[in-house]
Amino acid sequence: MTTLGDREKLYTSAAHDPFDGRHHGSIHIPVYQTSLFSFEKYDEFLQANQDLQHRHVYSRGNNPTVRYLEDKLAELEGAEMSKCFASGMAAISAAILSVVRAGDHVVCVDQAYGPTKQFLRDYVSRFGVTTTFLDGRSTEEIAAALRPNTKLLYLESPTTMLFQLQDLEACARLARSRGIVTVIDGTWATPVFQQPIRLGIDLVVHSITKYISGQSDSLGGVVSGSKELVGRIADMEYMLLGGVMTPFTAAQVERGLRTLPLRLERHEGSGLAVAEHLSRQPYVLRINHPGLPSHPQHELAKRQMTGSSGLFSFESGESVETMRAWADRLRYFRIGVSWGGFESLVTAGPAPNGYAVPGARSLVRLHVGLESADDLVRDLDRAWAEAAAEAEAGR
């Protein structure tokens, strides 16, 4: 049975903290801007050193401001424990390295975040770890790719260029029966719309940089899961690779986290409205948005997610040059990487080999921000009319 998280409850989790007398009832957690913690007596110091993850000794292990954010994210995720990192990639690389040893094999979806794939293909491979990349939409295909030495199944659902899904419950069941650890990058859905731990996935990673922060001013990442698996990461990759989140960043992210459910509902509504409008435009061949009934995996999306965020793509029969000229004319959609902030963004590139619909020449990705959806739709239409008129005049 699928257990979807209760969206309403997340509002309370995000907004509420119990009264804490240690901080004089302060509404925010103070920023413990300190690298180390000192002791009055040597015995206490020695004792604290026995438990670097729970006592306060050094901020590369445990800082109260960062820990506050970690506990909050674990609660939202339905996980026993979370650790926050300096970036999404720091979290992802730590999660992968915590699982694999020389001689192991990894199965990874081929539409996963580019640097994640590069890390597996060009970096971890140096230590004798091999990776098979595959589509991931068919659990049978994943099952067929598993080998006796497969130790990690790395998922990203939905993916963030083509918005393909994996069946998380089926993948978790399959992996568990073979003693394989599952890791998912859940950045697109956030814990508000998808809670993979409840579906049996072992470790969930997010780029906090995107929706969880939501302010486009901080980099961060998080790994969540069981005390056993995340505790091991805390002792090893967190401490030894040292890509930790600073207390200041944790405090900034805390501000963003308060409004995460609220912001996502807005991104969802506007994202669907803009996507529906685009689906009727002649320059759009196919929309890739899991929240639309036209998405081939819409039923699965409804089964394992409670909503959709504001990032999606479309394939166009127009050339990359035409779509970039259109992007140049957009006023509210700014040209740039990343997403998840309050601002709308656009990128345009070639249609991906092997996945695009026949006739597609370009792939455009839009992030629908918190502006008026009506303004955004008018912006898209006006820019298209101008770009088309210019192309006509140039003919």
The residue among 82 and 209 lying less far from ligand PLP, judged by its C-beta, is 209
Amino acid symbol at 328:
D
The residue among 32 and 113 lying less far from ligand PLP, judged by its C-beta, is 113
The residue among 92 and 272 lying less far from ligand PLP, judged by its C-beta, is 92
Binding site for ligand PLP (CB under 6 A): 87-89, 113, 160, 185, 187, 207, 209-210, 219, 221
The residue among 59 and 87 lying less far from ligand PLP, judged by its C-beta, is 87
Minimum gap (Å) between residue 210 Cβ and ligand PLP: 6
> Which residues lie closer than 8 Å to 324 by C-beta, 6 or more apart?
348
Q: Do residues 224 and 234 touch, judged by C-beta distance below 8 A?
A: no
Minimum gap (Å) between residue 285 Cβ and ligand PLP: 24
The residue among 98 and 207 lying less far from ligand PLP, judged by its C-beta, is 207
The residue among 285 and 345 lying less far from ligand PLP, judged by its C-beta, is 345
> Which residues lie closer than 8 Å to 120 by C-beta, 6 or more apart?
96, 106, 108, 129, 131, 154
Minimum gap (Å) between residue 99 Cβ and ligand PLP: 17
User: Closest residue to ligand PLP, Cβ-based?
Assistant: 88
Residue 186 burial (CB count, 10 A): 27
Give the rounded distance of the alpha carbon of 378 from its chain centre: 29
SS3 of residue 308 by DSSP: coil
Minimum gap (Å) between residue 319 Cβ and ligand PLP: 26
- Token code pair at residue 165: 């899904």
Q: Do residues 95 and 60 touch, judged by C-beta distance below 8 A?
A: no
Distance CA 101, CA 129 (A): 7
- Helices (H) and strands (E) counted in the chain, each on its own, are 15, 12
Minimum gap (Å) between residue 88 Cβ and ligand PLP: 2
SS3 of residue 225 by DSSP: strand
The residue among 119 and 333 lying less far from ligand PLP, judged by its C-beta, is 119
Distance CA 140, CA 107 (A): 13
The residue among 219 and 278 lying less far from ligand PLP, judged by its C-beta, is 219
Distance CA 56, CA 358 (A): 58
Minimum gap (Å) between residue 16 Cβ and ligand PLP: 27
Minimum gap (Å) between residue 144 Cβ and ligand PLP: 26
Report which secondary-structure segment, H or E, holds 233: helix 227-233
Distance CA 71, CA 141 (A): 36
Minimum gap (Å) between residue 160 Cβ and ligand PLP: 5
The residues pairing with 5 across neighbouring beta strands, listed in sequence order, are: none
